[in-house]
């Protein structure tokens, strides 16, 4: 699929084999005690890293209008924290279209065609000091940055490339195949295990996101969670869902990195 990241290169030698993933060297030998990437931080995208200014939803609206003649598809539809698969299924069913693989693919392809142009037309933005946060976290060799998002995989990479953040990430869990975010979280853990050539479980992971659904999916996989109130939910709306830490935003990079590493 276009937009997917290349497979890691495998190397053999010394006492074990190694996978070169991005710029990180990860041991794959159980006997080797040198494990440089011990923790995985899964980032949500919309409302956490960036705000497309509605570009994603407008691309979906155009796709639904052109392909299915559906007008105002998002009236009464919650989108924050949900997966693209789940949103698509709800809208198709609300408008009496069969929720079939053919209709879902027809919508997805039309949306992905619309998305780059919609992002170009949008006054979207990176959220406060996100680039600095990712740059600092990427310097810690025991941390691997990853994605846990409701976006279609290709939509996620299109958005990240538009904002020049794609190089920070190599893999993740995406919203193509699961209507529920908890299932995306399980897929993200499986992707991490496959990419890092070791068993990754929730105790090795943190989810960072902007909605109650992000916090709930972290709990579902036994991961730590840092929530941030830069999306549509306020800190007082997020706090009752019991994240391990909650930020208004990520503007104070040093404090945020220290707290993330302490919680992790």
The CA-CA-CA angle for residues 180, 186, 192, to 5°, reads 135
Quick check: 49 and 127 in contact, CB under 8 A? Answer: yes
| DSSP H or E segment with residue 43 | strand 39-43
Which is nearer to Mg ion, 8 or 81 (by Cβ)?
81
Starting at the earlier edge strand, list the strands of the sheet with 143-148: 172-173, 143-148, 39-43, 205-209, 224-228, 245-247
CB of 213 to Mg ion, least distance (A): 8
Which is nearer to Mg ion, 197 or 230 (by Cβ)?
230
CB of 214 to Mg ion, least distance (A): 6
Which is nearer to Mg ion, 82 or 140 (by Cβ)?
82
Which is nearer to Mg ion, 44 or 90 (by Cβ)?
44
Nearby residues of 229 by Cβ (< 8 Å), 6 or more positions away: 210, 235, 238, 246, 247, 248, 249
Binding site for Mg ion (CB under 5 A): 44, 46-47, 210
Q: In whole angstroms, give the CA distance from residue 177 to residue 115.
A: 19
Tell me how crowded residue 220 is: count the other CB atoms within 10 A of its CB. Answer: 16
CB of 15 to Mg ion, least distance (A): 42
Which is nearer to Mg ion, 42 or 97 (by Cβ)?
42
DSSP letter string over 176-201? SS-SSHHHHHHHHHHHHHHHHTS---
CB of 93 to Mg ion, least distance (A): 23
Residue showing the smallest CB distance to Mg ion in the complex: 47
Of 78, 160, 64, 42, residue with least CA distance to 113: 64
Which is nearer to Mg ion, 27 or 178 (by Cβ)?
178
CB of 58 to Mg ion, least distance (A): 17
CB of 232 to Mg ion, least distance (A): 8
């Amino acid at each position: 699929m276009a937009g997917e990241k290349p497979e890691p290169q495998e190397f053999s030698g010394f006492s074990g084999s190694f996978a070169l993933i991005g710029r990180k060297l990860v041991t794959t030998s159980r006997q080797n005690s040198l494990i440089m990437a011990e923790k995985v931080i899964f980032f949500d995208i919309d409302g956490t890293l960036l705000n497309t200014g509605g570009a994603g939803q407008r691309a979906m609206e155009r796709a639904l209008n052109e392909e299915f003649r559906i007008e105002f598809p998002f009236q009464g539809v919650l989108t924050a924290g949900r997966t693209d698969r789940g949103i698509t299924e709800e809208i198709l069913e609300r408008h009496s279209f069969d929720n079939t693989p053919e209709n879902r693919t027809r919508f997805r392809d039309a949306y992905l065609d619309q998305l780059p142009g919609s992002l170009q037309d949008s006054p979207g933005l990176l959220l406060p000091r996100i680039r600095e946060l990712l740059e600092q976290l990427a310097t810690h060799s025991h941390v691997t940055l990853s994605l846990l998002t409701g976006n279609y995989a290709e939509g996620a990479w299109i958005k990240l490339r538009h904002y020049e953040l794609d190089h920070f990430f190599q893999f993740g869990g995406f919203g193509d195949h699961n209507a529920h975010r908890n299932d995306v979280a399980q897929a993200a853990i499986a992707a991490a295990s496959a990419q890092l050539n070791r068993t990754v479980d929730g105790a090795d992971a943190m989810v960072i996101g902007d909605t109650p659904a992000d916090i709930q999916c972290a709990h579902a996989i036994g991961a730590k969670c840092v929530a941030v109130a830069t999306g549509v939910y306020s800190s007082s709306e997020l706090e009752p869902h019991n994240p391990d830490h909650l930020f208004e935003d990520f503007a104070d990079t040093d404090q945020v990195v220290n707290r993330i590493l302490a919680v992790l």
